[in-house]
Amino acid sequence: MVTAIEVSNISKQFVLRHTRSLKEAVVWLAKGRKGDLSEKFHALKNVSVEVQAGETVALLGLNGSGKSTLLKHISGVMLPDTGTVKTRGRVAGLIEVGAGFHPDLSGRDNVYLNGAILGMTEQQVNDRFDEIVEFSEIGQFIDTEVKFYSSGMYLRLAFSVAVHTDPEVFLIDEILAVGDEPFQRKCIDKIQELARDGKTLVVVSHDLDLVSRICERGILLEHGNVKFDGSIHDAVAILRS
Amino acid sequence: MSVISTDELTTPGLGGGLRDIKQSSFLLKLLVRKELKVRYRGSVLGLLWSYVKPGVQFIVFYVALGIFLGLERSPKNPDGLANYAVYLFSGIVLINFFSEALGNAARSIVMNGNLIKKIYLPRELFPVASVWVSAVHFFPQLVVLVVGCVFAGWHPNVIQLLAAVAGFIIVALLATGLGLLFGSANVYFRDSENLVDMLLMIATWASPVMYAWSMVEQKLGSTVFAIYQANPITIGVELFHYAFWYPTTDGAAAMPPNLFGLWLPVGLVVAVVIVVLGQYTFRRLEGRFAQEL
- Chain A hits for B188, CB-CB cut-off 8 Å, are 20
Q: ipTM score here?
A: 0.85
- B13 to chain A: closest CA residue: A76
* H-helix or E-strand spanning residue B227: helix B213-230
CB-side neighbour CA atoms (13 Å) of B272: 7
Winning range, highest mean pLDDT, from A68-72, A83-87, A235-239, B94-98: B94-98
> How far is B101 from chain A, CA to nearest CA, in Å?
21
CA distance B142 to A206: 56
Beta bridge partners of A204: A59, A173
CA distance B262 to B274: 18
Kindly state whether residue B57 falls inside one of the protein's structural domains. Answer: no
Q: Do A85 and B13 touch (CB under 8 A)?
A: yes
Does residue A113 belong to the interface with chain B, where contact is any CB pair within 8 Å? yes
Q: Do A77 and B118 touch (CB under 8 A)?
A: yes
Whole-structure pTM value: 0.89
At B243 the pLDDT is 94
Coil/strand/helix, residue A216: coil
Task: Spell out the alpha helix ranges (H) of B40-112.
Answer: 49-61, 84-111
Kindly state whether residue B35 falls inside one of the protein's structural domains. Answer: yes
- A6 to chain B: closest CA residue: B9
Kindly state whether residue B116 falls inside one of the protein's structural domains. Answer: yes
Lowest model confidence (mean pLDDT) among A30-39, A157-166, B258-267: A30-39
The pLDDT tens digits for B194-222 are 999 999 999 999 999 989 888 898 999 88
CA distance B92 to B209: 6
Kindly state whether residue B43 falls inside one of the protein's structural domains. Answer: yes
Q: Is the dihedral of CA B1, B3, B9, B15 positive or negative?
A: negative
Give A139's pLDDT tier (boundaries 50, 70, 90). confident
Kindly state whether residue B247 falls inside one of the protein's structural domains. Answer: yes
CB-side neighbour CA atoms (13 Å) of B78: 2
Q: Do A95 and B30 touch (CB under 8 A)?
A: no
Coil/strand/helix, residue A200: strand
- Chain A hits for B26, CB-CB cut-off 8 Å, are 116, 121-122
At A155 the pLDDT is 83
Cα distances (angstroms) measured from residue A134 to each of A22, A55, B82:
55, 28, 64
Kindly state whether residue B58 falls inside one of the protein's structural domains. Answer: no
> How far is A237 from chain B, CA to nearest CA, in Å?
30
Across all residues in chain B, what is the average pLDDT?
88
CA distance B204 to B91: 9
Kindly state whether residue B181 falls inside one of the protein's structural domains. Answer: yes
Domains in chain B: how many in total? Answer: 1
Distance of CA A74 to the CA centre of its chain: 9
> How far is B281 from chain A, CA to nearest CA, in Å?
17
* H-helix or E-strand spanning residue A231: strand A225-231
Has residue B7 got a pLDDT over 80?
no
Contact predicate A75/A170, CB 8 Å? no
Does residue A121 belong to the interface with chain B, where contact is any CB pair within 8 Å? yes
Q: Do B10 and A86 touch (CB under 8 A)?
A: yes
Domain that holds residue B109: 13-49+83-292
At A182 the pLDDT is 84
The pLDDT tens digits for A88-99 are 888 877 666 667
Has residue A207 got a pLDDT over 50?
yes
Q: Do B14 and A78 touch (CB under 8 A)?
A: no
CA distance B151 to B153: 5
Disruptive mutation site among A22, A51, A117 for chain B (greatest number of B CBs within 10 Å): A117
Give A166's pLDDT tier (boundaries 50, 70, 90). confident
Give B31's pLDDT tier (boundaries 50, 70, 90). very high
Locate the DSSP E strands across A89-166.
91-95
Label residue B218 exposed, middle or buried (CB < 10 Å: 0-12, 13-18, 19+).
exposed
- Chain A hits for B189, CB-CB cut-off 8 Å, are 20
Residues A118, A119, A125: CA angle, nearest 5 degrees: 90
Q: Do B4 and A105 touch (CB under 8 A)?
A: no
